[in-house]
Amino acid sequence: MCGRYASTLPPEMMTELFKLLNRVEMVPRYNIAPTQPIVAIWEAEGRREAHFARWGFVPNWVKDPREFPLLINARAESMSEKPAFRDRVKHGRCIVPASGYYEWHTGPDKKKHPYYITRVDGQPMALAGLYSNWIGPNGEEVDTVATITVAANPQLSVIHDRMPAILLSENQQDNWLNVRDVRAHEAAQMALPLEDGALKFHPVSTRVNSARDDDAGLIEPVELGKPEPAAVKPKKLAGGGQMDLF
């Protein structure tokens, strides 16, 4: 399960790296949590653009999102069969840009400690995801997203048994977003664990447990068992109040 991540890529770099036709303004985020607004990229009518969306997928057939389970992840092995996701595997694939993500490991003392996981080469991550446009009874619209998870590779399995599906190459990203020409079963074959050695990780502050904390200190390495640095005042979220609907 991937339940927290960081995204610090400057808007101009995101536009260039992912070949976007637009630009979104978002401050660096170090502790993005479910239900918060995130940046997701998808193609529609031949246009590849970035959008603000709610992290917490809501199928378009749901009547009241407040009574629907919070779906932040879709398992790659079953997404094509699940009623919530199967249509979006065909028509609603997206990418979630990230700098790294957090996972919690339960140690011998039975306590969970967070680790920050990034690419070895320092490049941004392109997390494979699915998006849906939910339209309410009064015409209100909210874009929602789930990130896709796969079985962890041997290297990451020492921390957790799942990891995000990460699209490394430009060709993979292009094909994942190309819902016109690339069929669902072809796209699903790209949602695979990365090979050992592609990622690295280190323990970080337990402050990441609180979504109220959002600062650069969260991704800094800590020594387990040592006192942790104090929090700093968090920045305001980008994306405004567009997620206030639910």
CA distance 245 to 142: 8
DSSP character for 56? S
Query: Is 68 inside a domain boundary?
Result: yes
Domain assignment present for residue 67? The answer is yes
- List the CATH number of the domain containing 61: 3.90.1680.10
Could you say which residues of the chain have pLDDT below 50?
A: 239-243
Q: Looking at residue 209, what DSSP letter applies? A: G
DSSP string, 153-204: PTTGGGT-SEEE-B--SHHHHHHHH-TTTS-HHHHHTT--PPPTTSEEEEE-
Question: Exposed, middle or buried: residue 63 (CB in 10 Å: 0-12, 13-18, 19+)?
Answer: exposed
Write down the pLDDT at residue 214.
97
Closest CA to 71 of 131, 31, 111: 131
Q: Give the pLDDT score at 239.
A: 47
Number of domains in the chain: 1
- pLDDT value for 232: 58
- 210 and 200 Cβ atoms separated by less than 8 Å: no
What was the pLDDT predicted at 208?
Answer: 96
Which pLDDT score, from 0 to 100, does residue 246 have? 62
Q: What's the chain's Rg over C-alpha atoms?
A: 18
Residue-level pLDDT at 121: 96
List, in order, residues 6 or more apart from 156 with CB less than 8 Å away. Answer: 103, 117, 163, 193, 199, 201
Distance CA 41, CA 125 (A): 13
User: Does 133 reside within a domain?
Assistant: yes
Rounded CA-CA distance 100/57 in Å is 21
Residue 182 lies in a domain: yes
106 domain-assigned: no
Question: What integer pLDDT is reported at residue 155 of this predicted model?
Answer: 96
Q: Are 71 and 56 in contact (CB under 8 A)?
A: yes
In a domain, 78, yes or no: yes
Residue 57 lies in a domain: yes
**DSSP three-state, residue 2:** coil
Cα–Cα distance between 214 and 4 in angstroms, integer?
11
Residue-level pLDDT at 240? 45
Show the domain range for 31: 4-101+125-198
217 by DSSP, 3-state: which? helix
In a domain, 117, yes or no: no
Give me the pLDDT at residue 46, please: 86
Active site members: 2, 103
